[in-house]
Amino acid sequence: MEKIVKHTLFLEYGQGLFATAISEVLSFDEKEVKLSLSSGGKLLVQGAKMKINCFDKGSGEFKLVGEVSAVKYLSHTSSKFKKLFG
């Protein structure tokens, strides 16, 4: 049975974002932040003027400030197309 990890996401309009169960910051700049979730999936945050305010790998807490325009969950499994051609 797959282990279920609770994940929390708070989006503050015009302020930024707070998330839990983050295992790693994969990439970041002021327009895009890509995070790895403890559950194995990925989280993509897009916006403007974004800065990482806090990331505690031990607790999994993550906070960024800035203008968030989109939050996308990316699957933790690869697509069949990517397996064939990736």
Per-residue confidence band for 54, with pLDDT thresholds at 50, 70 and 90: very high
What is the pTM for the complete model shown?
0.80
Q: In this structure, is residue 79 part of a structural domain?
A: yes
Is residue 45 pLDDT above 50, yes or no?
Answer: yes
What CATH number corresponds to the domain at position 75? Answer: 2.60.40.2000
Residue of higher predicted confidence among 16 and 79: 16
Distance CA 82, CA 49 (A): 32
pLDDT of 3: 62
Distance CA 12, CA 66 (A): 10
Strand order in the sheet with 42-56: 9-12, 16-19, 61-74, 42-56, 32-37, 22-28
| Domain span holding position 80 | 9-85
Among candidates 16, 8, 10, which has minimal Cα distance to 33?
16
pLDDT digits (tens, 9 = 90+) for 18-31: 999 999 999 999 99
Number of folded domains that form the chain: 1
Q: In this structure, is residue 3 part of a structural domain?
A: no
